[in-house]
Amino acid sequence: MRLFYARMTLGIDALHCPNCGAPADPDAGRCAYCRARLAAVACPSCFAAMFEGAAFCPRCGAARARGTAAPSDERCPGCRADMAAVSVGAVPMLECPACDGVWLDAAAFERICTDGEARAAVIHRPGGTGPATTEQRFRYRPCLRCGRMMNRVNFARLSGTIVDVCRGHGTFLDRGELHAVASFIHDGGLDRMRERELSDIQEAHRRQAAENAKASRSQEAGSSVWDAASLAEIVKAMRGW
């Protein structure tokens, strides 16, 4: 029953295969009738689920925000297959048809992080997404632009989504990670990150102030002992005169 209401909330119950029109579940990955490949994307207007092959949102009628993929000479950093160039909303990216990995240049990824409309266009749920294997999770990938191994970064420190980043060039995301990043931001994740950073800074200032106060008290105590000892030496010397 809860699954039924969840589907009603997301609009999934109204989805049909864009190839044959049969009722379809985006989590299935492929249509049970015609075996067409399925992937659910978010409507850029109301965020309801819709298939990427559909022309309009089944809930509000908004046009889909995904362009037609075009062949590319670039190789996927994840599996080395040929990637395809596509625009989702106004955001250009490269997708791998073999492993569903996504490459975004630095400017495109920044736009997704700062532009709500761009995030809406890429909040998607690829069918059949499962947890990454150990090899996928820990294997370093080469940057698509410079060929150097990218750094693995927990996006925004709090998201729990580990992405491959080459500073200044771009970001590679495994299957489902772009959805996770966009959803994290849409749900206020960056605000929580900023609050966490502010709290960390304030705590660091408090610790530094406490250490400074402790050092000052130690210095004052040391000075008092030294002054008393010096006075005693002076009195002793005066008695010897």
Pick the residue with more confidence: 208 or 165? Answer: 165
Read off the pLDDT band of 107 (50, 70, 90): very high
Pick the residue with more confidence: 87 or 128? Answer: 87
Read off the pLDDT band of 144 (50, 70, 90): very high
The pLDDT of residue 78? 93
* Run of H or E including 136: helix 134-138
The pLDDT of residue 83? 94
Does the pLDDT value for residue 100 go beyond 90? Answer: no
Read off the pLDDT band of 37 (50, 70, 90): low
Residues near 102 by beta carbon (within 8 Å), at least 6 away in sequence: 93, 94, 95, 96, 172, 173, 177, 178
Pick the residue with more confidence: 40 or 130? Answer: 40
Does the pLDDT value for residue 184 go beyond 50? Answer: yes
Range of weakest confidence among 27-31, 48-52, 174-178, 212-216: 48-52
The pLDDT of residue 35? 76
Pick the residue with more confidence: 156 or 219? Answer: 156
SS3 95: strand
The pLDDT of residue 172? 96
Going across the sheet that includes 39-42, the strands are 49-51, 39-42, 124-126
Q: Each residue of 154-171: pLDDT tens digit?
A: 998 888 999 999 988 999
Does the pLDDT value for residue 145 go beyond 70? Answer: yes
Q: Each residue of 55-92: pLDDT tens digit?
A: 777 777 777 667 777 889 999 999 999 999 988 777 88
State mean pLDDT over 195-217: 82
Does the pLDDT value for residue 152 go beyond 80? Answer: yes
The pLDDT of residue 232? 65
Strands 162-166 and 170-173: antiparallel
SS3 32: coil
Return the DSSP state at 205: H
The pLDDT of residue 213? 81
Return the DSSP state at 240: T
Pick the residue with more confidence: 188 or 3? Answer: 188
